[in-house]
Amino acid sequence: MNTKTLFLWGNNLTDAQLQDWHFVADAIENGTYVVCIDPIFTQMAAKSHKFVAIRPGADMPLVMAMMYVIVEEDLVDWDFMREHSCAPFLVKDSDGLFLRMSDLGVEPAVGDNGAAVDPYVVWDADANAYGELGAVANPAMEGSFEVEGISVTTAYSLLKDEIMKFPPEYASTLCDVPVETINELAHLAVDGPVTHRVGWGPQAYDNGIHPHLAGAALGVLTGQLCKPGANYGPAPWLMFLGGNMAMQASSAPVTSPTISNMYMADVMASNEFNGTPVTPKALWVYSGNPMCTWVDTNTLRDEVFNKFELVVTVDNMMTDTARWSDYVLPLAHWFEYEDAVIYGNTYHVLYSGQAAEPLGESKCDLDIMRMLASKMGLREDLYPASNEEYLRSYFSSPTCEAMGITYDNLVEQRVIRCFPENYRLWENGAFLTASGRAEFYTENPVADGYVGAVPDLDREHLPHWFEPREAWPEGELAEKYPFVLMSERPRFRVHGQWAYNRILREIDPEPTVKMNPADAIARGLEDGIHVECFNEHGHAVAKLVYNEAIRPGTLVYPKSWQSDQHIAGSWSEPLSRQCDPVAVNQSFMDCRVDVRAWEGAE
């Protein structure tokens, strides 16, 4: 509400996060200027003051070029940089870590909480000598220095080196945003309070970590963080952590590895995960429909699901995944059992009461687990006897007591606020980093979920540009498959949910794919015909819909139709399971296809 300019980065908020739209609408009425950066002219774009059409997978160069303008014109918020960021920290050439007093032989002290206190070293620009952070009034923001024989460079200088690679003229060739627009956006970004809200668009490519590293750096550089109306981040997904933790996690250690879907086919083939033998035999799927919503479902089916001896799916509807399972356990709908919601795009704990008896033999997850545990001979008391008893125990903790959150209060009030009024992340600059500052330089990037050799993490200290794997307009793949295949999270479904809702299917009866009319006409494809989008991984057939909102050279499909609702194929088939070794992400939009009229049987 108090934001002067709201930047929406790849955030189809009016569809995918509709619950937040009325706040944005209020802000607009209150004078907020909204900039929507998106390859697609969404409803949100139509409601924004400025639509910035961007090339898919190229948000990062735009952010970098905005920072270039800010640095060139010296619009940096130096006070914020000095007081609240890692800008003056000295990065050692040798290992990329921040220089600390212990590097100079000063024993770390023991702090109040028992933790070691090892101050950061900065360069005193007045004394032209090193000093302890906190003891130096005017730390150098830029420069390379020798500190007792150790070569160091300020974190800001390293960031600036990256920024300076992106003059707007060059960045414009990457992101396809005009130079004047980049300049305009840079000036908007320094005129606070500014909020940057990111959707799940920019991360949907193999280079998807880096637009966010850049975006967060932009927030720091401009001092537009943790102040009223100023922030950088996605929709606030919050979790109430004040419950009785003993009720949440088992004390027994987990004995099996966590393996990303991206590598599961290889693991099933080799029976090995990073050198450790693993022979998974049974698959239990709950709270998900991977065969519909994940990438490369042909491989997932043939190389993963079919290699398990037993596949069990728990769901309240017949999903693509349920169809490929040996057993389907009917799950009660959440209206049919009692529960509480402690996680979501909300500042509240919600009570979810039972409105109807479970249909047929269906049961809630907890009941299914109870029955399974007892058949497997696990401890009788693994889960308390009833859901009510569980919730009563869960909401009995010192935090709950202090906030007045009890089972009885929840039942009575239905909704209890568990975050403070006007809650702000990192209020007063209290960042949740080792230094307590906004660290745009990641000192010690750690790889997780990779398979094989540890990936090179040098790239991960700072925002770094590399092209998306498939979505880039140049190269052999682009010639063979001329269209970037993008998805949207449409308003008529939540992932695969509501797929068979008859009322919704009257409005939205079948899978569609949207195409810019100019592209379609050039290929002789008429509005409303069935087309096949395909590449070597698979295909999907859908009704073609002309729509000028679609960027030429891209196709956009509303995601998560069940495969039996397609004439042939499904949208998850053409998506590759290859991934960046650091991101280990299902890059849903890093995909190229070709499109042709469907000639197969209707």
Partner 1 sequence: MTRYGMAIDKKRCVACNTCCVACKIENNLPQDMWWNRVINEGGPNPDSPAGTYPSLTMTTYTLSCQHCANPACVPVCPTGATTKDPETGIVMIDPHICIGCKACIDACPYGVRTLQADEPVYYTAFNIGGDGIQDHVPNTVEKCTFCAHRVVNGEVPFCVEVCPARARVFGDLDDPNSDISKLIASRDYEQLLPEAGTEPSIYLLV
Q: Min. distance of Cβ 490 from partner 1 in angstroms?
A: 9
Residue 97 is given by DSSP the state P
Q: Min. distance of Cβ 542 from partner 1 in angstroms?
A: 14
Counting other chains too, the contacts that 399-404 makes at CB distance below 8 Å and 24 or more residues apart are 399/241, 399/242, 399/243, 400/242, 400/243, 400/244, 403/242
Q: Min. distance of Cβ 322 from partner 1 in angstroms?
A: 22
With a CB cutoff of 8 Å and minimum separation 6, the contacts of 50 are 33, 34, 35, 36
Among 333, 270, 334, which residue's Cα sits nearest to residue 303? 270
Nearer to partner 1, 452 or 528 (CB): 528
Nearer to partner 1, 303 or 488 (CB): 488
Q: Min. distance of Cβ 502 from partner 1 in angstroms?
A: 5
Nearer to partner 1, 270 or 345 (CB): 345
First to last CA, the chain: 50
Nearer to partner 1, 19 or 444 (CB): 19
Question: From the CB of residue 571, how many other CB atoms can be counted at a distance below 10 Å?
Answer: 28
**Would you tell me which residues interact with partner 1 (CB under 8 A)?**
14-15, 18-19, 21-22, 25, 28-29, 41-47, 51, 53, 491-492, 502-504, 506-507, 516, 527, 545-552
Q: Min. distance of Cβ 353 from partner 1 in angstroms?
A: 19
Q: What is the CA radius of gyration of the chain?
A: 26
Nearer to partner 1, 46 or 454 (CB): 46
Partners of residue 513 on adjacent β-strands: 544
Alpha-carbon dihedral 47, 49, 55, 57, rounded to 10 degrees: -70
Q: Min. distance of Cβ 543 from partner 1 in angstroms?
A: 11
Partners of residue 369 on adjacent β-strands: none
Residue 184 to residue 125: CA distance in whole angstroms? 33
Among 203, 81, 73, which residue's Cα sits nearest to residue 580? 203
Nearer to partner 1, 402 or 503 (CB): 503
Q: Min. distance of Cβ 501 from partner 1 in angstroms?
A: 9
Question: From the CB of residue 307, how many other CB atoms can be counted at a distance below 10 Å?
Answer: 17
With a CB cutoff of 8 Å and minimum separation 6, the contacts of 514 are 545, 546, 547, 549, 550, 555, 556, 557
CA distances from residue 283 to 78, 276, 497 in whole angstroms, order as listed: 53, 19, 21
Element (H, E) at 214: helix 210-221
Q: Min. distance of Cβ 413 from partner 1 in angstroms?
A: 21
Q: Min. distance of Cβ 46 from partner 1 in angstroms?
A: 4
Amino acid at 169: E
Asked whether the beta carbons of 116 and 110 are under 8 A apart, the reply is: yes
Q: Min. distance of Cβ 256 from partner 1 in angstroms?
A: 42
Nearer to partner 1, 47 or 348 (CB): 47
Nearer to partner 1, 269 or 518 (CB): 518
Asked whether the beta carbons of 442 and 220 are under 8 A apart, the reply is: no
Residue 396 to residue 407: CA distance in whole angstroms? 8
Asked whether the beta carbons of 138 and 124 are under 8 A apart, the reply is: yes
Nearer to partner 1, 30 or 386 (CB): 30
Residues in the chain: 602
Q: Min. distance of Cβ 14 from partner 1 in angstroms?
A: 4
Nearer to partner 1, 308 or 500 (CB): 500
Question: From the CB of residue 106, how many other CB atoms can be counted at a distance below 10 Å?
Answer: 13
**DSSP state string for 138-171:** SB-SS-EEEETTEEEEEHHHHHHHHHTT--HHHH
With a CB cutoff of 8 Å and minimum separation 6, the contacts of 103 are 92, 121, 150
Nearer to partner 1, 19 or 306 (CB): 19
Element (H, E) at 34: strand 33-38
Q: Min. distance of Cβ 427 from partner 1 in angstroms?
A: 28
